[in-house]
A and B are shown apart, each in its own frame.
Chain A
Amino acid sequence: MPGDPLLLVAANVLELVVGVGVVLALGLANDLRAFAARVGLAYGLGLALTGILDATLALVGVAIASLLVGFLRRSRRSPVAQEALQASSSTLLAAGIAAITTALIALAAAAYAVTPLLKWDGWAIWGTKAQALYDFGSATGPLFTSPAYEGIQQSYPLLLPALEATDYRAMGAADGSVIHLQLLLFAVAFAGSLFGLLWRRVPSELTALCVLAILAASPVLGQLASNYADVPLAFAIALGVVALARWLVDDEPWLLGVAAIFLGAGVLTKNEGAMFAAVAFLPLLVYLAAHDRRRALRLLAAAGAVVAVLLPWRIFTSVHHLSTGDIHFSDALRPGLLSAHAGRIAPSAHALAGQVGVAKWGLLVPVTAVGVLAAFVGGRAVLGWFAVSWMVLSSSCLVLVYWISSLPLHWYLATSDYRIVATLVVGGAALTPLLAADAWAGSKAALRELRATRAPAIEPETFPA
């Protein structure tokens, strides 16, 4: 039975309402302008929170619908601290770029709405889980625990299929085509969330340009349409890392909470989400342990919250003795295996490097490199080091995954390298506006100053009295 796309949109509006409750509770939208700027962030938070709750409650057979209302409560909080910088922005330029992004998404929506579940993992893993959550209402049935269904990778977490099952319930039908609109709505949530996270901190046109560059990179909407979880993972982790980066420089408590929510959503989207989240926390913890113990403790609490989000799923997989797949990071501590597999390092690193090039992701990686450079030039060295640390550690962990795996390397790389880099590339690109903000604002100020000093000297000559 075909599903009604409007009902899918209605489910997402409810998720937006959840996020609006969170944004209001955090005091992030105290006037209409702030609300308009952060409504995208509210949507992203609503999706992330609903996904976390949906995926977790499915483990004990509880439906989320009855709980939605609870999140609509508004609690009184002190207003958010004054933004560290008043960003200089060109509203008209930002609006123009946003219009192009909207047109891109509208064009994609027309194709997404009629795309069937054609890609292997898209239907075999994620599609089957979503269908089963819709059919059975929870993850307690044999599909999630019986050896007969080992092939659907039972150890992969449930956030993506749980959100899709929620859409199926809203539509009253498991429509494998219309569900692609949900995937596209992840892109909308990502764009809005990044804008909301950086609003007033980064010139709007810079954020808008970056969002457009990310969504226009062909692997983003291309891979998103496959119903694989890699791009949704990339979005969630990227937003979490950006929130952490902003918290590092601005020290506003709400950013840490937002980071924990997005990183929590990331660890429940794919198993490697835990790896990407861990290498985001690690360099920050090391830095703050040496410079500010109080903040280090707060960061530790946020990391604990992410672990707490993952814990029920890990207990579930442990209780049901589900295979955790072919990758075990404990193998990285086995010198014999590392030595025996050493021949896998170079081809893996080479293949991954080939997948992040301009031919695949457009200018995202070069732009990220410029952003890092701008952070150092613009006096944000700590931010620059954080970005570099996260990207280097993430890349190293990706190579480590191929190094310690026992899967045939050629096949493993051919089936995964093009998509496993998505989080790294999107995460780096999403950090770019924050990295470059000060240098961008400084350049614009210098340009204005230059114009102002030149103008009086030129005027008399051009228009002699």
Chain B
Amino acid sequence: MPSPIRASWVPAMRYSPTVIAFYGAHLRPGDRFYVQAPDNGKLGNVRASLMLTTGFALLPHVMVSRPGQADVVLSFEESPRTLGLRYTRVDSLVDGISAARVAHAG
């Protein structure tokens, strides 16, 4: 969970503190997460800005660059099912915002 101090600035950006708190609540100590969001390759696209936001707000959890390296996939306006991974659990805040725990082999 982001601290109240860090959550306080979230309204200044495009993501609600509720979303960040939802993502944080689905991470256990030591979990690594992957951010899945629309990416049109342009400067400041949704995925890039969400990566920055979660990268800061969810520390000390570490973000990874490939879904296969993650313990949890955090999705925004996309479905984790499209990534081709198996999950032990998928929780949704609202349609399009979800946290999916990856089922690691073994």
Chain A residues close to B by CB (< 8 Å): 1-2, 116-118, 123-124, 127-128, 131-132, 135-136, 141-143, 146-149, 151-152, 174-177, 411
Contacts and interface: CB of A to CB of B under 8 A. Distances in A.
A149 B12 CA distance: 21
Contacts of A118: 9, 12
A118 B55 CA distance: 16
Interface string B20-55: 000000000000000000000001000010011101
24 contacts: A1-B5, A116-B8, A118-B12, A123-B56, A124-B53, A128-B55, A132-B60, A135-B59, A136-B60, A141-B62, A142-B62, A143-B59, A146-B62, A146-B64, A149-B51, A149-B63, A151-B52, A151-B55, A152-B52, A174-B5, A176-B5, A176-B6, A176-B8, A176-B9
A406 to B, nearest CB: 12
A176 to B, nearest CB: 5
B5 A2 contact: yes
A192 to B, nearest CB: 30
Contacts of B59: 128, 131-132, 135, 143
Given A1-B3, A118-B9, A148-B65, A131 B51 contact: no
A148 B48 contact: no
A207 B62 CA distance: 48
A341 to B, nearest CB: 19
A16 to B, nearest CB: 27
A127 B5 CA distance: 13
Contacts of A131: 56, 59
Contact of A117 (B9, B60, B63, B64): B9
A310 B21 CA distance: 39
Contact of A152 (B12, B55, B62, B65): B55
A148 B10 CA distance: 21
Given A148-B65, A176-B6, 12 more contacts: A1-B3, A1-B5, A117-B9, A118-B12, A128-B55, A128-B59, A147-B65, A148-B63, A149-B51, A151-B48, A151-B55, A175-B5
**Most central of A116, A147, A148, A177 by chain B CB within 10 Å:** A148
Contact of A149 (B3, B8, B55): B55
Contacts of A143: 55, 59, 62
A39 to B, nearest CB: 33
Size category of the B interface is: 10 to 19
Please provide the 4 A-B residue pairs with the shortest distance between their CB atoms, ordered closest to farther.
Answer: A135-B60, A148-B65, A128-B56, A124-B52
A2 B5 CA distance: 7
Nearest to B34: A148
Contacts of A152: 52, 55
Contacts of A128: 52, 55-56, 59
Interface string B48-91: 10011101100110111100000000000000000000000000
Nearest to B62: A142
A131 B51 CA distance: 16
A148 B52 CA distance: 9
B60 A148 contact: no
A134 to B, nearest CB: 9
A148 B62 CA distance: 9
B51 A151 contact: yes
A380 B51 CA distance: 54
Nearest to A122: B9
Contacts of A116: 5, 8-9
Nearest to A408: B43
Contacts of B3: 1, 174
Contacts of B5: 1-2, 116, 174-177
Contacts of B55: 124, 128, 143, 148-149, 151-152
A155 B51 CA distance: 18
Contacts of B60: 132, 135-136
Nearest to B43: A411
Nearest to B65: A148
Nearest to A127: B56
B57 to A, nearest CB: 9
Contacts of B52: 124, 128, 151-152
Contacts of B12: 118
A148 B69 CA distance: 11
A173 B63 CA distance: 22
Given A132-B59, A143-B55, A123 B9 contact: yes
A131 B6 CA distance: 11
A136 B60 CA distance: 8
